[in-house]
Chains A and B, each alone.
Chain A
Amino acid sequence: MNNYWIKYYADNSKLIGDDKVSWSNTKLDNMTCCELYYNHYTLGIKGLSNDYWQSDTYETVYPYNKSKLTAKRIEKKITDRNRYIWFQTTINKLYLFTDRYPEQFDEVYIVQPEWINKYLICEIDLNSKRLKWHISENKI
């Protein structure tokens, strides 16, 4: 079963990790891209940043202490260097680009001033089995 992430860095190195490897305690600076693989789903965000994150959301029904994974996501802080957000998507894959203007695309969004310093969220919703993206005020 696929369940891992890849951090890509500006020096062309990369780091592969999973739930047993701390995202927070491994290098966060100068990332150019991150990808998340979970079962048959793939998420990706591309664009230079020191502020990428990966997180999982769970739910637990009282009183049982067995958690259920409901979402996996990656997120990136939007900076003033990001002019556009555009994406490539299939049923099982969602890839967001912030680093350049698209050559071919389905839809492109021009980054609005009020989006700067907010977070671009790319998520697998495991309840609905849908891939989603949105902009969040804060890191999730």
Chain B
Amino acid sequence: MAVNITFSSTNNGSAIAGTLDHGNSSNGSSTTAEEIFIRHNGESSITGVALYIREFSGTYSGSATASGDFAEILGWGDTSTVTGFGGVQLNLLSTTSYPVSGWPVNTDKDPTGGKTCRTGFGVSDATAITLPTTTNASPAGVIAKSQTNVALQTRIQVPTNEDTVGIRQFDLVAKYTYTT
């Protein structure tokens, strides 16, 4: 039997339906952080739980193209200048209530407990970001049977020098392994 993951916005809450709208953000600022809880219906633990982003796979309703959006978001994360840096960011410090120090900045894209999705980091199956123990995974990457408190926050930072208004879309993918 396939083991399925449930995403919710509260601990053990209802499964999220539809896409997650990060809302609007102006140049140089970040969207409001969204908390995501992850649980599963397996009879034993799932292991190797890791996240990555990729090109949007649903029916595209953004302002350009799915491939263009993904390339742009990747570029935002790759850029190290203060005006060009941005992208999809993860704060993995659920156990300490997501302190500001867990959010990346252009001079530190991987602070303790934080990650910027960019080339080589969280943008493919091979570079997926394993959930650390600070998300309540125990040990890292493991979610126990019936465990409901594994969580993280995500946000999007729009670069200061971005000059194209519009909607961007991408997939957030969870990968995991299960032994019956």
A-side residues, CB < 8 A to B, are 17, 19-24, 53-63, 65-67, 69-70, 127, 140
Contact = CB atoms under 8 A, between A and B. Distances in A.
B17 A63 contact: yes
Nearest to B6: A65
B44 interface: yes
Interface residues of B, number: 30
Interface of B: 1-7, 15-20, 36, 43-44, 47-48, 57, 125, 171-180
Contacts of A66: 4
24 contacts: A19-B2, A22-B43, A23-B179, A24-B44, A56-B179, A57-B178, A58-B3, A59-B175, A60-B4, A60-B174, A61-B172, A62-B16, A62-B173, A63-B7, A63-B15, A63-B16, A63-B20, A65-B6, A65-B7, A67-B4, A67-B5, A70-B175, A140-B47, A140-B177
Contacts of A17: 180
B180 A62 contact: no
A57 B179 CA distance: 9
Contacts of B47: 55, 140
A-B CB proximity, top 10 nearest: A63-B16, A62-B172, A55-B179, A60-B5, A59-B175, A57-B177, A23-B180, A63-B7, A65-B6, A67-B4
